[in-house]
Amino acid sequence: MLNSAFARAIAEFSPQLPLAVAYSGGPDSTALLLACAEKWPAQVLAIHVNHGVQLAADSFEQHCRQTCARLGVQLVVGRADGRHAAGQSPEDAARRARYQAFDELAKNTEVSFKSLAIAQHADDQIETLLLALSRGAGLPGLSAMPEQWARAGISYHRPLLGVPVSDIRTWLASRGADWVLDPSNTNEQFTRNRIRARLLPALQSSFPQFRSTFARSATHAAQAQVILLEVAAQDLEQVGSPPQIVLLQRLSQARQANLLRHWLKATYAVVPSTAQLTELLHQIACCTTRGHKIQIKVASGFVQRRGAELHWYNSQV
């Protein structure tokens, strides 16, 4: 077990302490919590977020309390409304609610942690990449999940992104630990679960090294995205914020698109669809007279021409 990918990942993991582990009670977060508690005694706490959606949510919380009591690990329970809105995926709603709960706990002066570890693994990474491909995502989506990032003053880590789920489960079985299983993980109504149940086994059969090769592609995409963001920031300095239409027209369409995505997301936290961005680029190209109007729906608002500039606005805000 000392030479397993899981053991190596834990040995190489060096977050700033004290460390919080996102603990659902499932097998992967259980393995991460056990390993971290062994490596850093008395410097690890567990965070469990009760979404209150499933009937078993309270029993999951009780299991986590019992496990942490046996380990002598502090457990902090956050509450979140994991219900999804119309048109929103249940998984996305739960994820957003979970991070909001993490943010609130990070502000709590009675809970002290510098870093937070999440037990997403190599199979999760591949599922995320395949989901992005199925949706026609650009480089941000194809970059899949980052191994480390910061949010609300907390350093987040995914130390197991290079570890296959089978390796985690083998390590956990050697410890004789128990865990709970989320019944929704086997519901093939959800695309991610269909990928897990049907596509990953087929890939394993045809391309046994697919986890490492796909992950390498995601890394390349992430590196390319960093460059695009640097170029967008430089172009925005030249074009101005809000963008001057005449200066924007001097760029290639690819650089216009890159700049506009960056401007809209960085300034207004909105992301245009491919169709919206294509139409906006077309209107910019056609904007050669004072009387040419631009007003295109983008996310929850509109991009509009005002004099020589482009602006985004939401009349409801």
Neighbours of 53 (CB within 10 A): 17
Secondary structure class of 189 (helix, strand, coil)? coil
Quick one: pLDDT at residue 82?
Answer: 57
Q: Are 26 and 34 in contact (CB under 8 A)?
A: no
Quick one: pLDDT at residue 185?
Answer: 80
Quick one: pLDDT at residue 226?
Answer: 95
Where does residue 48 rank: exposed (0-12), middle (13-18), buried (19+ CB within 10 A)? buried
What whole-number distance in Å separates Cα of residue 270 and Cα of residue 113? 31
- Tokens 């037990």, located at residue: 119
Q: Identify the helix (H) or strand (E) that includes residue 30.
A: helix 27-39
Q: Which residues of the chain have pLDDT under 70?
A: 1-3, 52-54, 81-90, 109, 316-317
pTM for this entry? 0.86
Provide the residue type at 227 as one letter.
Answer: I
What whole-number distance in Å separates Cα of residue 5 and Cα of residue 162? 8
The DSSP code for 116 is E
Query: Which domains does the chain show, CATH number per domain?
Result: 5-212 (3.40.50.620), 240-313 (no CATH)
pLDDT, tens only, 17-43: 999 999 999 999 999 999 999 999 999
What whole-number distance in Å separates Cα of residue 61 and Cα of residue 82? 15
Cis, bond preceding 18 (omega within 30 deg of 0)? yes
pLDDT, tens only, 150-201: 988 889 999 999 999 999 999 999 988 899 988 778 888 888 899 999 999 9
* CA torsion angle 156 162 166 171 (round to 10): -70
Q: Are 143 and 214 in contact (CB under 8 A)?
A: no
Quick one: pLDDT at residue 101?
Answer: 82
What whole-number distance in Å separates Cα of residue 311 and Cα of residue 292? 15
Put the strands of the sheet holding 148-151 in their side by side order.
74-79, 44-50, 19-22, 115-117, 154-157, 148-151
Quick one: pLDDT at residue 282?
Answer: 96
Q: Are 144 and 121 in contact (CB under 8 A)?
A: no
Cα Rg of the chain, angstroms: 23
Quick one: pLDDT at residue 95?
Answer: 77
Name residues whose C-beta falls within 8 Å of residue 216's C-beta, 6 or more positions apart in sequence: none
Write the CA distances from 254 to 232, 266, 278, 295, 305, integer angstroms: 11, 18, 11, 21, 20
